[in-house]
Chain A
């Protein structure tokens, strides 16, 4: 019954996002201890995690930079994924984003960050992933892997737990790394996906691919009533009507609940919006309000 209240397919599928993220965990976490570290994965997931299936593309890029090599495999993987689905990867597939989504479900007031804050990610990408490893080497404190909170949560903590269980001496992560994790965990209570919105270097790359990705968002301007519901539902403060390809957008498809925004490709002649009416939007609004 509830599905009928959503205006289009994108809005209906958006409700299943958490289950998509859960299903993809089985790919990234290698339930059968499958370690294919000769292959770069497309997501931000530390390869030091005991269950990591693939190599983290950012870690590979930083390490290759420290070796003065060009990471063709990592670049190819990220570029191919970005060209196909762009920021959908962040919203639907990334395990660290999923973790932040889960913590973000704790009912606290969430603040929206200004649009310019998303550009900080490019500084992280340029300085901590490329420049510092290339110029100062991977032993420098600013090497991305020594700071990465995903590495601390996905690799260091499991390793510490395992060492504690085995009775081995526990090796603690650096104080800087622990501080970053602490600040980030606290930030998740007040900002939706603070790592993705502010700092993630991989999200910076996928954010750029939002501008040309094959799978993208589309606003049906014939039916859009400028009700502002899409902007209201976006947790990142993006207004799909004016900035549909905003680089901070993780394509969570929450904005499609209004019925006039939908996921699309050039192969799809998306006229679902034409069928939706203002009343559909009103029903959706009722549904969203009831969810809250």
Chain B
């Protein structure tokens, strides 16, 4: 009788208690961090004005070269002979008789601050500012470049309870990206049924 009480009384009671503990832990305390993919607004690319040509350029993120773009921010075709857009006439260059001479040409500005020459800080009566490098300078331009949408994984607010995870797996709504990194595969209203 005692053996039966142990076998069919205490053992199922112990297993039942473990089961209830598992249910309580799962329902109330076990939480899982779930990530969703969220579109990242693209950062406006830096647009430079090439002082040699006076044209806006952006840096190609792949090659690292500077590409001339139009007002809409799109690359323009280049004449291979001149390296400039067809029909485009560049503005006077530093050193040009009609322009400022950074090296102190008599008719131009004096890069070293000659009182008779140009004003190195951009005096309109003189030549171009002398301390402007021959390269490029940064100018804010409206972002009109069309780029591919970029997504990044972000955690959903609070960690999800196991009940929600159970509900999500019944519709095939979760996938493992890496150990501990779980992604929800849907956004908005969940699908009704599991696609499996």
| Distance A74 CA – B164 CA, assembled complex (angstroms) | 13
**In the complex, how many angstroms separate the beta carbon of B150 from the nearest chain A beta carbon?**
25
The reply to whether A145 and B162 form a contact with Cβ atoms under 8 Å apart is no
Task: Decide if A77 touches B23 in the complex (CB within 8 Å).
Answer: yes
Flag if B15 contacts A55 (CB, 8 Å).
no
State which of A63, A69, A209, A266 has its C-beta within 8 Å of the C-beta of B9.
Answer: A266
- A77's partner among B15, B19, B179, B182 (CB-CB below 8 A) is B19
Interchain nearest-CB distance for B188 vs A (Å)? 18
Which residue of B has the minimal Cβ distance to A63? Answer: B169
**Neighbour of B26 across the interface among A37, A72, A137, A155, CB < 8 A:** A72
Which A149-166 residues have C-beta < 8 A from chain B? 151, 155, 159
A87 to chain B minimum Cβ distance, whole angstroms, is 13
Q: Contact partner of A146 among B4, B164, B165, B196, CB < 8 A?
A: B196
Measured between beta carbons, the chain B residues less than 8 angstroms from A155 are 193-194
Tell me the residues in window 37-57 of chain A with beta carbons closer than 8 Å to chain B beta carbons.
Answer: 37-40, 47-48, 50, 55-56
Q: Are B12 and A84 in contact, CB atoms less than 8 angstroms apart?
A: yes
Cβ of B53 within 8 Å of any chain A Cβ, yes or no, is no
Q: Which residues of chain A come closer than 8 Å to B196, judged between CB atoms?
A: 48, 138, 143, 145-146, 151
Decide if A66 touches B15 in the complex (CB within 8 Å): no
Residues of B within 8 A of A63 (CB): 169, 174
Question: When each residue 56-91 of chain A gets 1 if its CB lies under 8 Å from chain B and 0 otherwise, what string results?
Answer: 100110011011111111111111101110000000
- Are A266 and B8 interface neighbours, CB within 8 A? yes
A10 within 8 A of B: no
Q: Give B11's nearest chain A residue, CB to CB.
A: A212
- Tell me the smallest distance from the CB of B102 to a CB of chain A, in Å: 64
> Is the interface on chain B under 10, 10 to 19, 20 to 34, or 35 or more residues?
35 or more
B194 touches A48 (CB 8 A): yes
Tell me whether A73 and B23 are in contact in the complex, defined as CB-CB below 8 angstroms, given that A48-B194, A83-B12 are known contacts.
yes
CB distance from B152 to the nearest CB of A (A): 21
B40 within 8 A of A: no
Neighbouring B residues of A64 by C-beta, 8 Å:
165, 169
Q: Which of B1-53 contact A (CB under 8 A)?
A: 4-5, 7-9, 11-13, 15-16, 18-23, 25-27, 30, 32
Whole-angstrom distance from the CB of B179 to the nearest CB of chain A? 6
A79 close to B15 (CB less than 8 A): yes
Taken together as a complex, chains A and B put the C-alpha atoms of A222 and B26 apart, in Å, by 46
* Interface assignment of A214: CB less than 8 Å from any CB of chain B: yes
Which residues of chain B in 161-196 are interfacial with respect to chain A, using CB atoms and an 8 Å cutoff?
A: 162-167, 169-171, 174-176, 179-180, 182, 193-194, 196
User: Are A72 and B23 closer than 8 Å at their CB atoms?
Assistant: yes
Taking the closest CB of chain A, its distance from the CB of B69, in whole angstroms, is 43
Q: Which of B8, B21, B166, B176 has the most C-beta atoms of chain A within 10 angstroms of its own C-beta?
A: B166
Interchain Cβ contacts under 8 Å between A and B, 21 examples: A37-B166, A38-B167, A55-B167, A59-B169, A67-B169, A69-B32, A71-B162, A71-B166, A73-B166, A78-B19, A79-B16, A79-B19, A80-B16, A80-B19, A83-B16, A138-B196, A146-B196, A155-B193, A159-B193, A209-B15, A266-B5
Q: Which residues of B are in contact with A by a Cβ distance under 8 Å?
A: 4-5, 7-9, 11-13, 15-16, 18-23, 25-27, 30, 32, 162-167, 169-171, 174-176, 179-180, 182, 193-194, 196
* Known A73-B166, A155-B194, A159-B193; 14 more pairs at CB < 8 Å: A47-B194, A63-B169, A64-B165, A66-B176, A68-B176, A68-B179, A72-B25, A79-B15, A79-B19, A80-B19, A137-B176, A213-B8, A214-B9, A214-B12
